Amino acid sequence: MDPEQPSKPTPDSADDLREALKLPYLSDDRLRRFVDDFVSNRIFTSAHLTDAEVSLLKMIFLPIALGCFSRLQPDSLKQIGCIWEDYSKAGPCSINGKPVFVSFNLLHIDDWERAKVAIEKEEKRRESIEL
């Protein structure tokens, strides 16, 4: 190696060679639909799992078990607020009573924080509907 030649930068790790996840934010209308779907029990989310059930995530959302996140930088996955899918897309089998999906959607963590507040408000509103 020639000491006068500048050396090429080398990545610190293989993670630097992976692409970063660029998770978009949902529009307000789409986030409202997500909240309505959540409260109306039309979607299943990673938030439906208890701490003891989190290990089932890969079996519920099969693409995760098949390595769909392996090409992404691990730090960029921190922007995922929740993983979800429509119940109508569930497969014919289940794991410990939970649905199994071959597809999923991702919700940005900032959208998830907004959604959690709206979900709580919507659940309270629905409880107080006068009949």
Cα dihedral across residues 49, 61, 90, 127: positive or negative? positive
Domain presence at residue 3: no
pTM: 0.82
Quote the pLDDT of residue 16.
62
pLDDT digits (tens, 9 = 90+) for 67-106: 999 999 999 899 999 999 999 999 999 999 999 999 999 9
User: Which residues, in sequence order, are CB contacts of 88 under 8 Å at separation 6+?
Assistant: 42
Q: In what order do the strands lie in the sheet with 80-86?
A: 43-45, 80-86, 105-108
Tell me which residue range forms the domain holding 86: 24-126
- Judged against a pLDDT cut of 80, whether residue 11 lies above it is answered with no
Count of structural domains within the chain: 1
With CA atoms as reference, report the closest residue to 105 among 81, 126, 77, 84: 84
Domain presence at residue 74: yes
Domain presence at residue 49: yes
Secondary structure of residue 82 in the 3-state scheme: strand
Domain presence at residue 42: yes
Quote the pLDDT of residue 15.
54
Percent of the chain past pLDDT 70, that is, above it, reads 87
Domain presence at residue 34: yes
